[in-house]
Amino acid sequence: MRSMLTWLLLKLTFAVCIDAFTMPKVDAQIPNSELRNAVSSDVFLRGLPSTSLEQNSGVLQPVTTAQFESPVTPNAIGTGVLNQFQLTSIATPVSQTPASQPSHTSTREATRLNWRDRLGLDRDQPNFLVGYEVLGFRRGNDTVGPYSQGQGLDRFDQDTAARYTFSRLLGGIERVEFNFTGPFHWDKQSTVIGPVDSHFSPSISAAFDQADNHRLSHQVRLSSYELNRCWSSDELSTFFYGLRVFDHAEKYHLDASKGTGNSTFQLGTNNFLAGGQIGLNLSRPLSQRWTVGFDGGLGLYGNFANGSLDARNGSSTLLDTSDSRLRLTSVMTTGGRIHYRVSQNIVATGAYEYWTFPGLATAADQHLSSNAQLGALALRTGDDQLFRGWSFGLSARF
């Protein structure tokens, strides 16, 4: 009896082992999205990926393969069958990178940030505006002196300079803009053959009278710096306000030669204007490409002016004096402008402009006769100057 029970128990054990080791595996090919839904994200991310390739029309394509084991075992009582599914492996598709490129290249490119992303810029819209213009300006005629009884200086010729514009666009209607204009250099010279006398006061005239020649020169320098905030109420008008600085300086020289000796007279003035400005740009389209407009601006500035007088006879100092003054003044700029749209983001511009400066300290406005008698320079800041001229250039958005 005992041997029969032992035989039945061995037979049952052998049948269970055969079923466990000979149960077939089921290979199921399911889409990635369904697989992600069927398996929790933690299991999916922690799983070890594997790749199998199937050939379809001669092309190797990655296929996601999931293998499940489904052993069927009787329960302890023998009244039913319990199916248990155990996930043994999940195959995930490889990157769609061509075989000639290493897989880590796409990963590095995905993590690399574009330079516009690093600066918080919009890739799909222009973020900057740059412009370059050539300006040809004239300055009013200054008759300095007359300190020499010979021929004076001619009018200033036209001088050219450049205007550089750099703007950061803040959406469709606003921008922050920086402009630099200059430097202008006006220069005129002449030589008078003697003997020639001067119009200086008796205290210094002996060094310049009966000279073999007088060499005259007058130089003017002008530069402008702007930082503005601009916004558009519509496509035809733009308002701006900001800070602006003008640097205006002059030098007048008279050199006299008498035998082997030389005498020098020099008069210099400098105006540093700093303040705020507001303005308006109006435009009217003529066609799809041509637009005409008007530009106007008005600013209130503090003029930090200074001047100096220096006269020498060889190594001897005849006159050496200086003075400075602070004055409140205004500057007005106006002009007409025409635009031609070369492309969507490139515009050509031509304009004629006027810059009006009241209350400058210029070489022509200083009177040496009273200064020489007092022995000190009393700087005058009452000269009005007009600068006018054309400009032409290009601007581009990117």
pLDDT digits (tens, 9 = 90+) for 46-63: 233 333 334 444 444 444
Residue 236, pLDDT score: 85
Query: What is the tens place of the pLDDT at every residue in 181-215?
Result: 999 999 999 999 989 999 888 888 889 999 999 99
Segment 285-297 mean pLDDT: 96
Residue 125, pLDDT score: 78
Could you tell me the pLDDT band of residue 75, with boundaries at 50, 70 and 90?
A: very low
Query: What is the tens place of the pLDDT at every residue in 211-253?
Result: 999 999 999 999 999 999 999 877 789 999 999 999 999 999 9
Greatest mean pLDDT among 170-184, 265-279, 311-325? 265-279
Of residues 150 and 123, more confidence is placed in: 150
Domains of the chain with CATH codes: 2-111 (no CATH), 125-397 (2.40.128)
Of residues 13 and 257, more confidence is placed in: 257
Is residue 292 within 8 A of residue 249, CB to CB? The reply is no
Residue 67, pLDDT score: 46
Residue 13, pLDDT score: 57
Note the pTM of the prediction, 2 decimals: 0.69
